[in-house]
Structure 1
Amino acid sequence: MSTPRRSPFAGVRYEHLVAGVSGGVASTLILHPLDLLKIRFAVNDGPAASAKPHYTGLTQALGHIFRHEGIRGLYRGVTPNVWGAGSAWGFYFLFYNSIKSYLQGGNPKVHLGPGLHMAAAAEAGVLTLVMTNPIWVVKTRLCLQSTSGGGGATAASATHYNGMVDALVKTYKYEGVRGLYKGFVPGVFGVSHGALQFMAYEEMKAQYNRYRNLPIDAKLTMVEYLSFASLSKLFAAVTTYPYQVLRARMQDQHAHYDNLRHCVKETWRYEGLQGFYRGLTPYLVHVMPNICLVFLIYETVSGSSSS
């Protein structure tokens, strides 16, 4: 007997969207300065370095930004970052749990295994990236904008932005739709980051609950959620970090790369292997508390909504 096909929309639950948005917005507002430092360190060298301030360490970078740009400088790009993180986490959790529910046939106690967990996370990542890439382009460019940058009058009019809307308009005006989707290809490669992270997170939760002789969807304590979230993020971050450097550099308004291959070639030429891990320290300092906040708020909000 053939079983009836289940609609892919049957598992859509909007509390996942609300929970993801809540976690993304809260963590971004608290930790944005660390994200800004990560982006600036990622593009801190290479052929376009002369157009930007040079940083030698976290303390020196914080001091330089504070002296030249004030507190406001530490929050450059926060508006698109809030929009981007909120919408990205919201859509990601919505898509991921909908796809996961479809693969489970609507039974949350069915264990999918590492392969299907990665597939669900990868599909959710691509769908989310299509919807949010323009916001990430604007966020990156606003974070890289500083009062000490160079450039003539024409360059300034094209690459100096007065806010999120102005950046979106100017990017589209001078570069078209292609400009809004710069960094999309390394972003697609970066889907592997989310896939590895969610695979590790789901597998650790499932194996831990099996060890306790509980259903795989049993709720955990705050400390357990935080532990699994941080360990899964650390695993994914170290494995896939170079794509974030390439993505930031391709989105940088001060640099000009023909394509991803050109960006890889120039990074290797000027900096070697170390160049692909620029900004890793501020990135880890930023993402570890970030992911803990996102997952903790997500699990709390989604858990209370479904109870």
Structure 2
Amino acid sequence: MMENTTQSSAQKANPVKSFIAGGFGGMCNVIVGHPLDTIKVRLQTMPLPLPGQSARYKGVADCAVQTFRKEGIRGFYRGISAPLMGVTPIYAVDFAVYAAGKRLFQSDDNIALTYPQIFVAGALAGVCSALVTVPSDRIKVLLQTQTVSSGPVLYHGTLDTAIKLYRQGGIKSLFKGTCACILRDSPTGFYFVTYEFLQDLARKKSQTGKISTASTILSGGTAGMVFWTLAVPFDVLKSRLQSAPEGTYKHGIRSVFRNLMANEGPKALFRGIFPILLRAFPSTAAVFFGVELANDFLKA
């Protein structure tokens, strides 16, 4: 079994290595988690049924079955090229800024960071990565919500979507949902605190001081579930905003929130939470597994 020498909070962070490792970890995240992400987005954005009609999807299983029947395996990976192309800078920035934030509190390797300091570094990373995430998230959501049965196909892949959005509304259209994305990624501080806390516990229990692959997977997966439990309401609002036709919500996320509360109630803020949490553990575990694997390679 591979053993990872996870960088503890007492080791001075290296933003350059973290940039490379974060990008690789992000790619692992997308490959593992995209099918459930597609289901999540479709559940979050499905229209309210007309009187006497049933909902488009009855739940996670029904959405998965319908997607497979109508679109095959490819249906689960709609829009994956957008996050794959954007995932390297997104996660690279996330982990690089996190490392840079940690360095602000470290004058040498002998200073162990406190959890509040880790939280601040993580929160800063979340805001910066959110700014990079917006365009690829916007494209991904549009492609994921464009089903074969929903009408004529408007977008044909990532590049075509990006070009059409730019023609429709310029850069502003590509960055639609920026505030919503920042709010969605705001709990990133809890994400890193949870991971570091669990890894510190594992390190203390280890006789060699090394962290096993199993510990990295467990810590990373748990961190992902904590993050997404807090982020789900903002993610619902973001998906609604980014998938809506231009001019639907004049005041951005505020209009989405008011509309959702008036028509569907607070329960709708947690629509799609089951596939989100189902996806959160393996996909986030894949991130940290990839990061630690890359760190081991860079140290070799």
TM-score normalised by structure 1 residue count: 0.84
Instruction: Give 1:181's aligned residue.
Output: 175
- 1:233–1:288 contact (8 Å) kept in structure 2: yes
Rounded Cα–Cα distance in structure 2 between residues aligned with 1:231 and 1:71: 28
**CA positional deviation for 1:12:** 4.5
Instruction: Give 1:117's aligned residue.
Output: 118
Rounded Cα–Cα distance in structure 2 between residues aligned with 1:172 and 1:36: 24
Kindly provide the amino acid, as one letter, of the partner of residue 27 in structure 1: N
- Secondary structure in structure 1 of the residue aligned to 2:150: coil
- Secondary structure in structure 2 of the residue aligned to 1:295: helix
Structure 2 residue 238 is matched with structure 1 residue 247: yes
Rounded Cα–Cα distance in structure 2 between residues aligned with 1:64 and 1:88: 31
Instruction: Give 1:277's aligned residue.
Output: 270
**CA positional deviation for 1:254:** 4.5
**CA positional deviation for 1:186:** 1.7
**CA positional deviation for 1:253:** 3.6
- 2:221–2:283 contact (8 Å) kept in structure 1: no
Deviations 1:234-262 (A, max 9, x none): 22221221111111111004582221111
**CA positional deviation for 1:67:** 2.3
Pick closer, same or farther for the CA change 1:97–1:59 going to 2, 3 Å. Answer: same
State the aligned residue count: 283
- Secondary structure in structure 2 of the residue aligned to 1:99: helix
Task: Tell me the C-alpha RMSD between the 2 structures.
Answer: 2.4
Kindly provide the amino acid, as one letter, of the partner of residue 111 in structure 1: A
- 2:101–2:120 contact (8 Å) kept in structure 1: no
Kindly provide the amino acid, as one letter, of the partner of residue 229 in structure 1: G
Unaligned runs of 5+ in 1: 1-9
- Secondary structure in structure 2 of the residue aligned to 1:192: coil
Rounded Cα–Cα distance in structure 1 between residues aligned with 2:206 and 2:215: 13
Instruction: Give 1:164's aligned residue.
Output: 158
Rounded Cα–Cα distance in structure 1 between residues aligned with 2:244 and 2:59: 23
Deviations 1:196-234 (A, max 9, x none): 1112212332355456698xxx53111111222222222
Instruction: Give 2:82's aligned residue.
Output: 80
Instruction: Give 1:226's aligned residue.
Output: 217
Instruction: Give 2:17's aligned residue.
Output: 15
Rounded Cα–Cα distance in structure 2 between residues aligned with 1:74 and 1:285: 15
Rounded Cα–Cα distance in structure 1 between residues aligned with 2:34 and 2:181: 20
- Secondary structure in structure 1 of the residue aligned to 2:291: helix
Kindly provide the amino acid, as one letter, of the partner of residue 222 in structure 2: L
Rounded Cα–Cα distance in structure 2 between residues aligned with 1:253 and 1:171: 13
Rounded Cα–Cα distance in structure 2 between residues aligned with 1:131 and 1:116: 23
- 1:186–1:243 contact (8 Å) kept in structure 2: yes
Instruction: Give 2:4's aligned residue.
Output: none
1:193 maps to which of 187, 195, 199: 187
- 1:41–1:278 contact (8 Å) kept in structure 2: yes
Rounded Cα–Cα distance in structure 2 between residues aligned with 1:303 and 1:165: 35
Rounded Cα–Cα distance in structure 2 between residues aligned with 1:241 and 1:203: 23
Percent identity reads: 25
Pick closer, same or farther for the CA change 1:206–1:111 going to 2, 3 Å. Answer: farther
Structure 2 residue 41 is matched with structure 1 residue 39: yes
Rounded Cα–Cα distance in structure 1 between residues aligned with 2:65 and 2:267: 24
- 2:49–2:56 contact (8 Å) kept in structure 1: no
- 2:126–2:187 contact (8 Å) kept in structure 1: no
Rounded Cα–Cα distance in structure 2 between residues aligned with 1:203 and 1:30: 24
**CA positional deviation for 1:273:** 1.5
Instruction: Give 1:131's aligned residue.
Output: 132
- Secondary structure in structure 1 of the residue aligned to 2:265: helix
Pick closer, same or farther for the CA change 1:42–1:236 going to 2, 3 Å. Answer: same
**CA positional deviation for 1:62:** 1.7
Rounded Cα–Cα distance in structure 2 between residues aligned with 1:250 and 1:228: 32
Unaligned runs of 5+ in 2: 1-11
Rounded Cα–Cα distance in structure 2 between residues aligned with 1:30 and 1:119: 28
Rounded Cα–Cα distance in structure 1 between residues aligned with 2:230 and 2:115: 17
Rounded Cα–Cα distance in structure 2 between residues aligned with 1:135 and 1:232: 23
- 1:46–1:270 contact (8 Å) kept in structure 2: no
Instruction: Give 2:95's aligned residue.
Output: 93
Rounded Cα–Cα distance in structure 1 between residues aligned with 2:35 and 2:132: 24
- 1:193–1:236 contact (8 Å) kept in structure 2: yes
Pick closer, same or farther for the CA change 1:274–1:88 going to 2, 3 Å. Answer: same
- 1:25–1:86 contact (8 Å) kept in structure 2: yes
